[in-house]
Amino acid sequence: MRATRRSVMVLAGGFLFIASNAMAAELVLFELAGCPWCTIWNRTIGPIYPKSEVGRRAPLRRVALGDGIPAGLTLKGPIRYTPTFVLVEEGREVDRIEGYSGEDFFWARIEALVGRRPPSP
């Protein structure tokens, strides 16, 4: 009986972990091959982003613009510029940053965007 109860608790904990991760925020980067601003972002911010606090709170997912919108992702509008950074929670767009005009601008905008969201569990 104890083993069964323990198994159920472990299984339930696993489902809670999966559910909490599914609700976590992510930053979806829409980029286009040959985009000079995408190249600059990838060179200057790309290596740093996953190591930052904001990068841990909203991990990056890359999408090639020509591949279309991934299944399960609902956007508020079309992607018109690259790079476009879309903050997503539970598969829905929360807000976005269109374009890249330098490190200072990006960090200020993304920190404000993600900073308004509650921390992930």
Across 64-82, b (16+ Cβ under 10 Å) vs e yields: ebeeeeeeebeeeeebeeb
Please indicate, yes or no, if residue 86 is contained in any of the structural domains: yes
Q: Which is nearest to 101 in space by CA: 62, 28, 26, 44?
A: 44
pLDDT at 11 over 60: no
pTM of structure: 0.77
Higher pLDDT, 47 or 101: 47
Query: pLDDT tens-digit profile of 32-71?
Result: 999 999 999 999 999 999 999 999 999 999 999 988 899 9
Domain residue limits at 91: 24-115
pLDDT at 7 over 90: no
Please indicate, yes or no, if residue 47 is contained in any of the structural domains: yes
* CA distances (Å), origin 25, targets 33, 74, 87, 94: 25, 14, 7, 9
Separation between Cα atoms, residue 88 and residue 74, nearest integer Å: 9
In total, how many domains does the chain have? 1
